[in-house]
Amino acid sequence: MKLEGGCYCGQVRYQAEGEPIMKAQCHCRECQYISGGAPNMFLLMPAAGFSYTKGAPKEFKRSDLERPVTREFCPECGTHLITRPSVTRALVVKVGTLDDPKLFGTPQMAIYTIDKQAFHHIPEGMPSFERLPSR
Ligand SMILES: [Zn+2]
Ligand SMILES: [Zn+2]
């Protein structure tokens, strides 16, 4: 599939082509900051099919971690667009930045439930993992 999206103000735009590797909701503490408190809905997409088509994001990496992820967001409006893990050739696309978030369908699993808040919702019967599913 080919997904297109961008930030809230429209300065940064992207396209992501390929089959989603994972569709999930992440409950980790870091995602809570970025989502506003809720779990973060994301698609894991092949990095090779991703490119910015307009503008360029600002990047942030924590300096106190051994293998920090790179968070990319609009320098103007602050919308978080993607996260690049340091260990895989895939990247995390934030569902709320898709032009058509309906294309997400539904998440397949909940991850990092170790940080789950009592007000987070996990649909009945959805596989959930304290951290990541083992491969
Ligand atoms: Zn923006
Ligand atoms: Zn997370």
Nearest to 72 by CA among 90, 85, 57, 86: 57
pLDDT given at position 88: 81
Give every residue of the chain whose pLDDT is below 70, as ranges.
135
What whole-number distance in Å separates Cα of residue 24 and Cα of residue 133? Answer: 11
CA-closest candidate to residue 52, choices 1, 94, 12: 12
Q: Ligand 1 centroid to 46 CA: how many Å? A: 23
Ramachandran region of residue 115, left (φ > 0), alpha (ψ -120 to 50) or beta? alpha
Identify whether the C-beta of residue 3 lies closer than 8 Å to the C-beta of residue 98: yes
Nearest ligand, CA 79: 1
Task: Quote the pTM value.
Answer: 0.94
| pLDDT score, position 30 | 95
The alpha carbon of 12 and the centre of ligand 2 are apart by a number of angstroms equal to 22
Kindly identify the ligand whose nearest atom is closest to the C-alpha of 6.
1
